[in-house]
Chain A
Amino acid sequence: MVGTPLAGALLLLLPAGRFLPGDVAVRRYGVAVSGVTLLVAAVALAAFDFGSPTRMQFGVNEEWALSVGLRFHLGVDGISLPLVVLTALLTFLCFLYTIKHPPAGGSTRLLTALLLVLEVGLLGTFVALDLVLFFVFFEVVLIPMYVVIALWGGAGRRAAAYKFILYTLLGSGLLLVGMLLVAVNAGTLDMTELATRQGAGLTHGIQVTAFLLMGLGFAVKAPMWPLHTWLPDAHTEAPTVGSVLLAGVLLKMGTYGFVRIAVPGAPEGAEFWAPWLGLLAVIGIVYGALACLAQRDLKRMIAYSSVGHMGFVLLGIATLTPVGLNAALFGNIAHGLITGLLFFLAGAVKERYGTGDLDALGGGMLAKAPTLASILTFASVASLGLPGLAGFWGEMLALLGAYKPHGDLPRETFMTFMAIGGLGAVLTAAYFLRMLAKITHGPPSEVVAARSVAGISVYEYAAWTPLIVLTLLVGLWPKALLEVTTAPVRALLGGG
C-alpha cells in the first residue's frame, strides 16, 4: 500500500522525454497510481477482520537496524484503518480533480511526484508501528507539502511556506525528544508493545515530561490553540489540492499521534496534562469560531473552522475515556470528509469568481450557480454538526466524554469545558450561516452577476460526490465507524 505511490513517485524521476511526455499523461498517471493505492486500501478494508479490530492486521515486522532495535513494523487496526482509507481516497480525488483543474505554478510532473511522496508519508504515518519509523514518515510529509505551498501557492506563498515548515519542524524536534525519552526508558520502540505496557516502568516525572514534549509536537500539527497560526496562512496560500490534503489528512496526524502514541505510551503524563489539553482545546473551539465569525476570506474562514473542529477532537482526547477517543477518531474522519469537500468548493468558487472574499462575492450565488451553492450549503451544514451528517457524532461524543471524563480527572472542570464547547457549537453554526447568507443568499451581486460561470465539470462531480455520499452514510449510520474503533480504543486505554 505504501509501496505503490512510492514506486510511482520514483518512476517520475525518469527523464521526462523517455517516460510519459506531456502534462496530461502525467496527470493520468497520477490518477492511476493513486487509484491503485485506493484499490489496495479498499482490498484491505474488505479483507479486514472486523471481528477483532483490536488486532494488528496485514502486519509486516522485519528487522531493520538491529543494533538499535529498529524494526520495520507496519500494521493496520481499527484505529488506523479508517484513516488509511480516508487518505487513499482523498489523494485519489485530488488527482482526479487535478486532471481538469491543475493549479498554476510549477510543472505537473513535479506536482504529481510530490503528491505521491506526500501520500507515502501520510499512509506510512498511519500504518507505522515503530516509533522511529513513525517519525520518519511523519517527517516525509513535511517537505512535499512545503514545496507544494511554496511553488503553487498564492501571493504570500513564500512566507506561508516558511512558517509552515519552521513551525512543524520545531514541533517535530520536540516530538522526537519526547518519543526517544519514552523509548529509551521503556527499552522498546514498538508501539504495540508500548501500548500494552501502559507506561509500566516509566517514572511519573518521565511520563509527564515525555507527554509534554510529544504533546507539543502533535499539538502543532493538530493544530491546537495557540500553536495554530501557521494553519490559516498555509491554507489561504496553498492550492486547492494542497488545502484538501492539508486539512483532510495532515492535521489528523497530530491527533492520531495523541491517540496512538502519547496517551497509551505515557498514561500518567496524559492524566497530568489532560485538563490543560482540554482547556486549550475549548479555547480553540471558541476562538476558532469567533475568528471565523469576523473573517472575510472564504479559505481563511474554513481554515479557522478547522481550528475549532480539531478543538473538539482534542477535547475528546483530553477526556481519556473510550468515548472521548472514539469521538476524536470519528471527528478526524468527519472533518477529513467535510473540510476536504469545503476546500474543494472554496477552490471552485475562487476559480470561477477570481476571489474568495466574502464581501466582494456579495451574494446571490444560489441564483446564478445553484448547484455549486447548494453543495456549499450542504457542506456547511454538515460542518456545523447537523445530526444525520458526519460532523455531528464526533462533536456530540466529545461533549459526552467531557460530561463524564476519566475517573481521576476533575469532573467539574470538564463539565465547564463541555458547556463552553457547546457554546462553541452555536458559534460554529453562526459563522457558517453568516457565510452562506453572505454569498449564496440575496440578490446577485455585481461580481456574481457579471460572470456567467462554468457549470460543474465531470471531474469536479467525480471528486465531490464520494465525499458527499460518505458524509451522508457515516452520518446516518455512525455504527459503521464506531464499531471498528470502540474495541481498540478500549485496549489503548488499558481496559478490556
Chain B
Amino acid sequence: MIGLASAVVLLPFVAAFAGMLLGPRLSSLLGARTTTAPAPDPVPGGGPEAGAEAWQGAATEAERSFLKNGPAIIACVPIAVSTVLAAIIGLTVWGDPGDRTGVLTRVATGTVPIELGLQIDGLSAVVAFMVCCVALAVQVYSVAYMSKDPRYSSYAAFISLFTAAMLLVVFAGDLLLLYVGWEVMGVCSYFLIGHHWEERANSRAAVKAFLVTRLGDVGFLFGIFVLGIGAGSFSIERVLDEAPSMPHATVTAAALLLLAGVAGKSAQFPLHTWLPDAMAGPTPISALIHAATMVAAGVYVVARVYGVFVAAPAALTVLGVLAVISMLGSALAALAQDDIKRVLAYSTVSQLAVMAGGLAVGAKNGAIFHLLTHGAFKALLFLAAGCVIVVTGSNMLRDYGGLRQGMPITFWTMTVGLAALVGVPPTSGWFSKDAVIEAAQHAATRGDASAADWLVYVGLLVTVAVTAAYATRLWLMTFFGENRGQGAYELKEAPMLMAGTVTVLAVPSALVGFFGAGEAELRPHVGSAVLALLLVIAGAGAAFLVWNRDPALDPARALGPARPVFLRAFYVDEVYDAVIVRPVRALARYVITFDDRGIDTAVVGTARGARRLSELARLPQNGNPQAYLTGVLAGTVVIVAGVVIFL
C-alpha cells in the first residue's frame, strides 16, 4: 500500500527528470518531423502570439502526431499510471478504512529526527486521486495547447515535477517531508508562471508569486518547528496525538504560524496578491496549479492537522476572519475584471476562502468536499477558458461575445462549470457549498456562537450572491450577444484534444456531488439550500438585468465609482508596494553605500591610520648617519649629565 503510494509520487518525479533530459531526443528517436526550431514568437498572457489561426493549426497537428511526441509521452504516460494507482489506493481505503503509515528511514538531525515516511488515510487517498486526475487532464490538454511552444519539453517536465511535489504533500507522513513538497511546488509554480519569460511582466509575476508564498512559508516552517519540538516528533500522527496535551500557548502559536503558510499558498488575505498576477502563466498551469491543486494545498494541510487547530480556537477565529475578508473582497474584485483569467483567479481566492471558512466553523469534511468539487469545476473552467483563448487569441472579455454559436462544446462545458461555481442544483458545487453553509449556519445558531461564527455565515451568504453575479456576467459576455471580435478570428471549436479533455472534466463537475449524498453531514439541507438558491437568483438576476439593457456593454458599468476600486482589488498591491517593496529596496541601496563608506572606510581607515603612525615612527629613522650619531651623542650627554647631577 505504501509502496503503491511511493510509486504514485515517484513516477511523475522520474518523468520530470526524464522529460528534462531526454524529451526532445525521444521525439527524434520516434521519427517526428523536426520542425527546425520554430521562431520563438513573443508571447502575451497565455500563449504563443502566432495569431489564433496558426496556433489552432499547430494544436491540431500536435494532436495527430501524439505518438511521435517524446516529451508528451514522457509526461502523460507516468501520470496516467499514477492515476490508476491512486484509484486503486482510493478503492482499497474505501473498502477498508483506517490509517496506513510506512517509514522508509529516519534521518538523525541531532534533535528530533525526520522520518521519511508516507501516510495514507481516506483524506489523502481521495485528494491524491483528484490531483492525479487533474494533472493528467492538464498534461493531455497541454499537448495541444502548448504545441507551438519551443520549450514544451521543459514545461511538461515541470508539470510532472509539480505533480510529484503535490502528491508528496498529500501523502507525507512527516511535517518536514510535507514542507519539502510544499516548497518544491512553489518553485515549480515560479518556473511555470515565468514560462514565457520573454515578457518582463511574466517574469515579475513569477518572482512575486514565489516571494509572497515564501514569506508565508517561513512562518509555516516555524510552525512545524513549534509542533515538532513540542511533540518530540515531526510525524503527523504523533503530533496529532500530542496536540491536545501541549500547552495552550504552544498550540496556538503553532497554529497561527501554520496559518501564515496556508494564507500564502492558498492565496488568502493578506497574502493573496500573487494569485491574480500568476495568471501570466500558460492557461493549463492556471488550471492545475493556481486553481485545482497547489492553492488547495493550504486548505488540505489545515484539514490534515485539524487536531492542532481544534486545540487552538483562537487560530480558527483568525482563519475565519481572514476567510471572510478574502471571499468577499475577491468576489467583488472578480465582478470588475476584464481579463477572463483574472475573473477566474479572484473567484479561486474566493472559493478557497469558502473552504477556509468551512474549516473555521468546524466543517472539515464539508471543506474538503468543496475542495474536491472545486478542483474539478475550476480546472474545467480554466481549461475551457483556454479553449476560448486559443480560438479568439485574446484574454479579454470585451473581445468575446456570441461564442455560443461556433463553440458548442466549450459553451456547454463552461456552463456546467459556472453552474457548479455558482452552486446551481444539482451540480457538484451546490452540494459542497451547501455542506459548508449548513455547517456555518449550525455554528452561528448554536448557543455559544461567537461573532466570528456569525461573520463567516453572513459572509458566505453574501459571497454566494456576488459569485452568482460575476459568473453570470462572465457567461453572458462570453457566449451571448453579438460577437465583438471584429473578425479578428474565425469562430470554430477548439482542437479535440482540448475540447475532449474539457468534456471529460465536465462529468465530475456535474455529478461528483452525488457521492457526498451518502454522508449525512454532506447531504443538502432544505433550509440553507433554499436560502442560498434565492441569493443565487438575486445575484444572477441582477447581472442579467444590467446586461440585458445593452448586451454590447460590460455589466460592470453598473458598479459606478466602485468599479476602479474593485478592478484594482482595493489597491492592496499599491499599499504593499509603498509599505514593503520600496522601503526594502531603499534599505538595500543604503546597505551597499554603508558597506563601502561605513564599514570598509573604518577598515581602510585603520590601515591608513597605521601607516600614518608608522610614518611618524619612521621620521627619526631617516637613514642619515649624522642624525643617528647626533642622537647617540645627545643621549650620552643626557645620561652623563643625569649621573653627574643625581649622584
By a beta-carbon cutoff of 8 Å, the part of chain A in contact with chain B is 163, 166-167, 226, 229-230, 232, 287, 290-295, 321-326, 364, 366-367, 381, 386-388, 392, 396-397, 399-401, 403-404, 418-419, 422-423, 425-427, 429-430, 433-434, 437, 440-443, 478-479, 482-483, 486, 489-490
> Which residues of the other chain, B, contact A437 by a CB distance below 8 angstroms?
194, 197, 200, 203-204, 206-207
| Residue pair A399, B110 in contact (C-beta under 8 Å) | no
- A441-B111 in contact given A386-B184, A387-B183, A433-B211 (Cβ < 8 Å): no
Residue B526 CB within 8 A of the other chain: no
| Residue pair B588, A291 in contact (C-beta under 8 Å) | yes
Considering only CB atoms, which chain B residue lies closest to A418 in the complex? B222
Residue B225 CB within 8 A of the other chain: yes
Q: How far is the CB of B200 from chain A (nearest CB, A)?
A: 5
Residue B607 CB within 8 A of the other chain: yes
0/1 interface trace, chain B 191-207, chain A, CB 8 Å (1 if under): 00010011110111011
Residue B645 CB within 8 A of the other chain: no
In the assembly, what is the distance between CA of A286 and CA of B107, in Å? 29
Residue B585 CB within 8 A of the other chain: yes
Q: How far is the CB of B111 from chain A (nearest CB, A)?
A: 4
0/1 interface trace, chain B 465-483, chain A, CB 8 Å (1 if under): 0000000000000000000
Residue B241 CB within 8 A of the other chain: no
- A166-B607 in contact given A291-B588, A404-B111 (Cβ < 8 Å): yes
- A226-B599 in contact given A322-B110, A323-B111, A366-B197 (Cβ < 8 Å): yes
> Which residues of the other chain, B, contact A326 by a CB distance below 8 angstroms?
109-110
Considering only CB atoms, which chain B residue lies closest to A291 in the complex? B591
| Residue pair B194, A229 in contact (C-beta under 8 Å) | no
In the assembly, what is the distance between CA of A423 and CA of B207, in Å? 16
| Residue pair B108, A404 in contact (C-beta under 8 Å) | no
> Which residues of the other chain, A, contact B214 by a CB distance below 8 angstroms?
425-426, 429
Residue B537 CB within 8 A of the other chain: no
In the assembly, what is the distance between CA of A29 and CA of B226, in Å? 54
Interface residues of B in 154-195 (CB under 8 A from A): 176, 179-180, 182-184, 187, 190, 194
Q: Give 6 CB contacts A-B under 8 Å.
A: A326-B110, A388-B180, A429-B214, A430-B207, A437-B200, A479-B116
| Residue pair B110, A321 in contact (C-beta under 8 Å) | yes
Interface residues of B in 52-72 (CB under 8 A from A): none
Q: How far is the CB of A440 from chain B (nearest CB, A)?
A: 7
Considering only CB atoms, which chain A residue lies closest to B586 in the complex? A294
Considering only CB atoms, which chain B residue lies closest to A422 in the complex? B218
In the assembly, what is the distance between CA of A325 and CA of B111, in Å? 11
Q: How far is the CB of B261 from chain A (nearest CB, A)?
A: 12
> Which residues of the other chain, B, contact A287 by a CB distance below 8 angstroms?
591, 595
> Which residues of the other chain, B, contact A401 by a CB distance below 8 angstroms?
110-111
In the assembly, what is the distance between CA of A433 and CA of B116, in Å? 30
| Residue pair A483, B108 in contact (C-beta under 8 Å) | yes
Considering only CB atoms, which chain A residue lies closest to B203 in the complex? A441
> Which residues of the other chain, A, contact B182 by a CB distance below 8 angstroms?
387
| Residue pair A323, B110 in contact (C-beta under 8 Å) | yes
Interface residues of B in 585-615 (CB under 8 A from A): 585, 587-589, 591-592, 595, 599-600, 603-604, 607
Interface residues of B in 64-120 (CB under 8 A from A): 105, 107-111, 116
Beyond A422-B222, A423-B218, 6 extra complex contacts between A and B, CB < 8 Å: A287-B591, A290-B584, A291-B588, A400-B225, A443-B198, A478-B107
Query: Which of B109, B228, B599 contacts A229, CB < 8 Å?
Result: B599
Considering only CB atoms, which chain B residue lies closest to A300 in the complex? B592
| Residue pair A490, B211 in contact (C-beta under 8 Å) | no
Considering only CB atoms, which chain B residue lies closest to A292 in the complex? B588
Residue B215 CB within 8 A of the other chain: yes
In the assembly, what is the distance between CA of A162 and CA of B495, in Å? 68
Considering only CB atoms, which chain A residue lies closest to B218 in the complex? A422
> Which residues of the other chain, B, contact A430 by a CB distance below 8 angstroms?
207, 211, 584
Query: Which of A166, A387, A482, A489 contacts B107, CB < 8 Å?
Result: A482
Considering only CB atoms, which chain A residue lies closest to B593 in the complex? A294
Residue B221 CB within 8 A of the other chain: yes
| Residue pair A422, B588 in contact (C-beta under 8 Å) | no
In the assembly, what is the distance between CA of A323 and CA of B200, in Å? 42
> Which residues of the other chain, A, contact B600 by a CB distance below 8 angstroms?
229
Considering only CB atoms, which chain B residue lies closest to A387 in the complex? B180
Interface residues of B in 198-256 (CB under 8 A from A): 198-200, 202-204, 206-207, 210-211, 214-215, 218-219, 221-222, 225-226, 228-229
| Residue pair B210, A429 in contact (C-beta under 8 Å) | yes
> Which residues of the other chain, A, contact B42 by a CB distance below 8 angstroms?
443
> Which residues of the other chain, A, contact B207 by a CB distance below 8 angstroms?
430, 433-434, 437
Q: Would you call the interface of chain B mostly helix, strand, loop, or mixed?
A: helix
> Which residues of the other chain, A, contact B408 by a CB distance below 8 angstroms?
none
**What 7 pairs between A and B have smallest CB-CB spacing?**
A322-B110, A323-B110, A293-B588, A294-B588, A387-B180, A441-B197, A422-B218
In the assembly, what is the distance between CA of A295 and CA of B593, in Å? 11
> Which residues of the other chain, A, contact B110 by a CB distance below 8 angstroms?
321-326, 397, 401, 482, 486, 489-490
By a beta-carbon cutoff of 8 Å, the part of chain B in contact with chain A is 40, 42, 105, 107-111, 116, 176, 179-180, 182-184, 187, 190, 194, 197-200, 202-204, 206-207, 210-211, 214-215, 218-219, 221-222, 225-226, 228-229, 584-585, 587-589, 591-592, 595, 599-600, 603-604, 607
Considering only CB atoms, which chain A residue lies closest to B604 in the complex? A163
> Which residues of the other chain, B, contact A434 by a CB distance below 8 angstroms?
207
Query: Which of B176, B200, B210 contacts A433, CB < 8 Å?
Result: B210
Query: Which of A290, A324, A397, A441 contacts B591, CB < 8 Å?
Result: A290
In the assembly, what is the distance between CA of A422 and CA of B219, in Å? 8
| Residue pair A294, B591 in contact (C-beta under 8 Å) | yes
Considering only CB atoms, which chain B residue lies closest to A396 in the complex? B221
- A291-B592 in contact given A387-B179, A426-B214, A440-B197 (Cβ < 8 Å): yes
Q: How far is the CB of B230 from chain A (nearest CB, A)?
A: 10
> Which residues of the other chain, B, contact A418 by a CB distance below 8 angstroms?
222, 225
- A229-B603 in contact given A294-B591, A386-B187, A422-B222 (Cβ < 8 Å): yes
- A294-B585 in contact given A323-B110, A434-B207, A479-B105 (Cβ < 8 Å): yes
> Which residues of the other chain, B, contact A423 by a CB distance below 8 angstroms?
218
In the assembly, what is the distance between CA of A103 and CA of B595, in Å? 29
> Which residues of the other chain, B, contact A290 by a CB distance below 8 angstroms?
584, 587-588, 591
> Which residues of the other chain, B, contact A291 by a CB distance below 8 angstroms?
588, 591-592, 595
In the assembly, what is the distance between CA of A441 and CA of B207, in Å? 11
In the assembly, what is the distance between CA of A167 and CA of B602, in Å? 13
Query: Which of B109, B203, B226, B607 contacts A482, CB < 8 Å?
Result: B109
In the assembly, what is the distance between CA of A3 and CA of B585, in Å? 50
Query: Which of B105, B222, B587, B591 contacts A419, CB < 8 Å?
Result: B222
In the assembly, what is the distance between CA of A482 and CA of B116, in Å? 14
In the assembly, what is the distance between CA of A483 and CA of B398, in Å? 61
Q: How far is the CB of B164 from chain A (nearest CB, A)?
A: 10
Q: How far is the CB of A30 from chain B (nearest CB, A)?
A: 31
Considering only CB atoms, which chain B residue lies closest to A287 in the complex? B591
In the assembly, what is the distance between CA of A321 and CA of B112, in Å? 12
Q: How far is the CB of B58 from chain A (nearest CB, A)?
A: 20
> Which residues of the other chain, A, contact B218 by a CB distance below 8 angstroms?
422-423, 425-426
| Residue pair B111, A322 in contact (C-beta under 8 Å) | yes
Considering only CB atoms, which chain A residue lies closest to B105 in the complex? A479
Query: Which of A166, A388, A426, A441 contacts B194, CB < 8 Å?
Result: A441
> Which residues of the other chain, A, contact B603 by a CB distance below 8 angstroms?
163, 167, 229-230
| Residue pair A403, B108 in contact (C-beta under 8 Å) | no
In the assembly, what is the distance between CA of A397 and CA of B110, in Å? 9
In the assembly, what is the distance between CA of A367 and CA of B150, in Å? 11
| Residue pair A323, B109 in contact (C-beta under 8 Å) | yes
> Which residues of the other chain, B, contact A322 by a CB distance below 8 angstroms?
110-111
> Which residues of the other chain, B, contact A399 by a CB distance below 8 angstroms?
221-222, 225
In the assembly, what is the distance between CA of A35 and CA of B584, in Å? 46
- A400-B184 in contact given A291-B592, A429-B210, A433-B210 (Cβ < 8 Å): no
In the assembly, what is the distance between CA of A443 and CA of B199, in Å? 7
> Which residues of the other chain, B, contact A386 by a CB distance below 8 angstroms?
183-184, 187
> Which residues of the other chain, A, contact B215 by a CB distance below 8 angstroms?
426
Q: Which of A167, A425, A479 has the most CB of B within 10 A?
A: A479
